[in-house]
Chain A
Amino acid sequence: MPLLLGTAVPRVEDERFLTGQGTYIANLDLPGVLTVTYVTSSVAHGLITGIDVEEARQAPGVVDVVTAADLDIGPIPPMNPNYPASMARPILAADRVRFVGEAIVAIVSETAAAGADAAELVVIDYEPLPAVVTIEAAETDDVVMFPEAGTNLVLRTEGGDADPESCEVSVSSVIINQRLAPCPLEGRAGASVWGDDGRLTHWSSCQGAHPVRAVFAQTYGMPVDQIRLIAPDVGGSFGSKARPTAEELLLPFLARRAGRPVRWVPSRSTDMTGLGHSRGQRQRFTIGGDRDGTMRAMRVHVDGDAGAYPALGPMLAANAATMSAGPYRFESMAWSTAAFITNSTPTVAYRGAGRPEAAALVERAVDLFAAAVGLDPAEVRRRNLVRPDQFPWTTATGVVYDSGRYEEALQRALDEVDYEGVRKEQARRRDNGNGDDGGRALGIGVTTFIDRTAGVPGSEYGAVELRADGSVLVRTGSSPYGQGHHTAWKMLVADRTGLPLDRIEVIHGDTDQVPRGGITGGSRSAQKAGSAVAEATDLLVVEAKRQAANLLEASPDDIVLDMAEGRFHVAGSPGAGAPQVTWSDLGERTVTADGPGLKCETDFDGLGPTVPFGAYVAVVEVDTETGAVEITRMVTVDDAGTILNPLLAMGQVHGGLAQGIGQGLFEEWRFDDDGNPLTANFSDYAFISAADLPSFESYLVETPSPNNPLGFKGIAESGTIGGPPVLQSAVLDALAPLGVRHIDFPLTPERVWEAIQEARRS
């Protein structure tokens, strides 16, 4: 069998998913299950002066109604010990609500319909307080959402030293990285049932069974082994389901009171307001360098919108700042960050988690610097990229980059798009038109960027065991929610055992079946869990050769695993009649009633995070009369070290690009001045669909990482990192002759049109 590594093996998962055989929370078969419906806050900030649930309690089909007064659990364990303790989120709001959508009352009912009807009978009285919806309003502390804390500030970080103003050329700006909703196909969902033995089984639509189990154990004061946490098939997350939300954490409590299983599957709108949002940053920077285009120093300040309760969001502001050196050789950098409470949905991780924000910042800075020194933006990037002989490279912010050939990626992207040709076409149109290409302004955007993957600390578990029938069972600590772990892990095992893919089974996401595991996030799975599976399989083969040696009466050193046939023989005697041992022979002989005979497990960590990189070029045409932007070319070059499966890698690139284009041109979560969400459905929130995307021209390059034996890096977030800035760069390039200097994300037709009008006025 030829090596599968690097080949486009089709996803083994898809037949099951596409034929409706997947198991999600909503179609779990749970006899006697009750439905949980939450009544949530309809005001962004206020005191709760009364909760009347009596009518709901009496409604048909209602089994239980629970408010904060009934709880003996909570608040939610804080994510970061540096957050003010008084800002911890209660599981149900008691005295004060801090965002629209915050859960106040839980209704447990026989059917979803009964729950929806009963929810309308709950009466909650509020004494409204002024809503703080923006960072600008929050940072003044005029209105403080946590009186005990005395401030809206959650977290402040700073470091470094830089004086960009002393450079020959320096440019400053303030830009916005807008609030987004993650919108996985399957929203939050969970189900709980207590066993007669007092053990809890909880199903969670999440990014990893073990870390989620830890939060439940902490919340309920239970030992982790008293909880079986199952992450079944999960319909996406994009970082937003890393930790269970308040509504999910309450489910075991409700199941215990009811003495029956409970399930919670919120509607899309409920989910969009409660799941957690992301981005939401205001970024200030000053970049400085020489007139010849050498960039030397940058100072950044990032303010983050934490939302109503601090979750991961405050840390993302810090992450964005320290990653904002990008792929460039800044000699000095200074950074500071602050994150503030606002009356809005708490912010969490979303595909990239700080790196898209960092790239948006530095790419805007580089474009402004290029304009200030009068050089082509591609050329300025080329001159300042970290060179291949400079790795490992440590940025001025202290981040270590493992390996890369950045200029090569940039050159590839420029070649693929025919950069000179497109620039000539742009010049031709500008000469023919009146500065705006006759109503269709052509723009070219260039972006070079880095990601930092496997940045979530901790090792990952992998085990392989030989079954009696000669097939191999893989237990992985990393739980997929769309990535294709089953395909990828099977390829790694097949390449080491000679077994066909269908003789390899992968199990994931069940704490009773997998002893430990981490989170699937930050593009760490191939590097950590994949490496663990490969390493465990290598150990299994060593052990198998030892067993085969016994059977063949030879030394283990003389045993050869024939990869084409998936069987063992003595070196030098591979003929048909020669004695051989198959995986089935070994399985038969080693598996006993006591368990597997051959089983190897490992925990893989690696030498540190890896830094994939990319270079994107976008060509756009801007309709200067309406502001509409059409993407005519989207050329992407991505490096993620060794590519395990180009089909899976391209799937990640395409998905990331879709969401990156979404942030660049379409999506923005908005509130009115009182903190009411204006975009809580797919009609008002311009979530992108395939109908609005161009055809991508995507390429992969491979610079193996020295940080794991197979040289893997992560690729799942490249499109959300490179996508938004390359579009902003392209649109602003198109409009530069009209005098347009900046447009914040998303570059909607109206925003683009407004910017053109403003430029024409001034």
Chain B
Amino acid sequence: MLLACPPVKPAPFEYHAPERLDEAAQLLAEHADEAKILAGGQSLIPMLALRLTSFPHLVDLGRVADLRGVEQANGSVRIKAMTTQAAIEKDASVGAAVPLLAKAIPLIGHFQIRNRGTVGGSIAHADPASELPAVALALDASIEVTGKGGTRTVAAADFFEGTWTTAMAEDEILSAVSFPTWSGTTGFGVEELARRHGDFAIAGVVAGVELDGSSVKRAAIALFGMDSTPVRASSAEAAVTGTSGAAADLEAAGQAAVAELDPPTDIHGSSAYRKKVGAVLVARALTQALEEARRG
């Protein structure tokens, strides 16, 4: 039964539903800072409903057919922005090519949220405590952004600038993300501590390793929930590379990962707690990754 009195919560806005990416870019250019892109709506709609933010124009990408789908070529998986998290979660070939996506996506909200939430939307929203930006950062993903002048590619390392802030201009749309596929003897791990299943992480870590025999040839580690952006733990990667990945090596990597960090304090966790847990989770994510790599 329909509600007799629909609870209208957001401030008024004009709704646009273009069917082509260039139309969407044109609309954004027209309305400048008065417009916001609506992707899966899993972050934006609650913020609008709570009136934490408001925009006179919403540009819904839901009908842009060209923004959905996955392509695998040239050693990477290119996911178009409006592909839902659930679609990736269920796509075994993506899971095989980029295992970190398969491991991280189930930690995003609940399945109802992943059915609506999109890969591009999550990365463009750039919440520092969410999983996909960290995966993009750890894997050196390439992020395609489209404006009315065309499309450019931004490296994940240059993309995240602050809480909900990215290198995209106001009139640009995140159109696709390419995740490199790792070859060789590799393994991946994701560890997260949250109050409840599906909550934003108090602290989280994604990690990948490639082995050369018994020693670590390459490591990629990113933390989330620990700063105003996801953080690449280069010093931890360096600390563990070349080692056998013994417990002491991993603990050292954990310490190195958080040494320079000053995580935020909020109602879900203090800075000191995040830092301590972050170090523990780095070691555990690496353990997971190493075990997977050693299993072959």
Interface residue ranges, A against B (CB under 8 Å): 20-21, 26-30, 33, 35, 111-113, 116-117, 120, 263, 265, 267, 269, 625-626, 628, 666, 670, 678-679, 681, 683-684, 686, 688-689, 691-692, 748-750, 753-754
Contacts and interface: CB of A to CB of B under 8 A. Distances in A.
Contact of B196 (A20, A29, A678, A691): A691
A536 B8 CA distance: 47
**Which of B1, B4, B7, B49 counts the most A-chain CB atoms under 10 A from its CB?**
B4
Given A626-B193, A689-B197, A691-B197, A35 B5 contact: yes
23 contacts: A26-B3, A26-B4, A27-B2, A30-B4, A33-B5, A112-B7, A113-B8, A116-B8, A116-B51, A263-B5, A625-B277, A626-B277, A626-B280, A626-B281, A666-B196, A684-B268, A689-B110, A691-B196, A749-B193, A749-B202, A749-B277, A753-B276, A754-B273
Interface string B192-226: 01011111101000000000000000000000000
Q: Which 10 A-B pairs have the closest CB atoms?
A: A113-B8, A691-B197, A625-B280, A20-B1, A112-B8, A686-B195, A750-B273, A27-B4, A692-B196, A626-B277
Given A692-B197, A753-B276, 5 more contacts: A26-B7, A120-B11, A263-B5, A269-B50, A689-B110
Contact of B193 (A29, A111, A628): A628
B8 A750 contact: no
A167 B154 CA distance: 74
Interface of A is mostly: loop
B269 interface: yes
Interface in B16-58: 46, 49-51
A692 B196 CA distance: 6
Contacts of A113: 8, 12
B9 interface: yes
Nearest to B195: A686
Nearest to A21: B1
Given A117-B11, A628-B193, A691-B198, A26 B5 contact: yes
Nearest to B279: A625
Contacts of A112: 5-8
A745 B182 CA distance: 45
Interface residues of B, number: 33
Given A117-B11, A684-B267, A691 B110 contact: yes
A670 B267 contact: yes
A267 B7 contact: yes
Contacts of A28: 4
Contacts of A691: 110, 196-198
B270 interface: yes
A686 B51 CA distance: 21
A81 to B, nearest CB: 38
A509 B9 CA distance: 31
Contacts of B49: 267
Contacts, number: 84
A112 B7 CA distance: 6
B41 to A, nearest CB: 16
B149 to A, nearest CB: 37
Contacts of A117: 11-12
A622 to B, nearest CB: 13
A748 B197 contact: no
Nearest to A685: B267
A259 to B, nearest CB: 19
A683 B267 CA distance: 10
Interface in B245-296: 267-270, 273, 276-277, 280-281
B192 to A, nearest CB: 11
Contacts of A29: 4
A117 B193 CA distance: 39
Nearest to A114: B8
Contacts of A20: 1
A666 B197 CA distance: 12
Contact of A750 (B3, B12, B197, B269): B269
B9 A267 contact: yes
A666 B196 CA distance: 8
A299 to B, nearest CB: 36
Contacts of B199: 683, 686
Contacts of A116: 8-9, 11, 51
Given A116-B8, A692-B197, A681 B1 contact: no
Nearest to A680: B50
A691 B193 CA distance: 15
B45 to A, nearest CB: 13
A628 B193 CA distance: 8
A748 B270 CA distance: 12
A263 to B, nearest CB: 6
Contacts of B197: 689, 691-692
Contacts of B267: 670, 678-679, 684
A683 to B, nearest CB: 8
A438 to B, nearest CB: 12
B195 A27 contact: no
Nearest to B8: A113
B154 to A, nearest CB: 29
Contacts of A269: 50
Contact of A686 (B3, B5, B196): B196
A102 B189 CA distance: 48
Contacts of A684: 267-268
B5 A265 contact: yes
Given A116-B9, A117-B11, A681-B50, A689 B4 contact: no
A434 to B, nearest CB: 14
A117 B54 CA distance: 12
A112 B49 CA distance: 13
B2 to A, nearest CB: 7
B196 A27 contact: no
A609 B8 CA distance: 45
Nearest to B49: A267
Interface in B64-80: none
Contacts of B198: 689, 691
B195 A748 contact: yes
A681 B196 CA distance: 14
Contacts of B11: 116-117, 120
B221 to A, nearest CB: 18
Contacts of B51: 116, 120
Contacts of A683: 46, 199-200
**Which of A20, A111, A749 counts the most B-chain CB atoms under 10 A from its CB?**
A749
Contacts of B9: 116, 267
B196 A265 contact: no
A750 B270 contact: yes
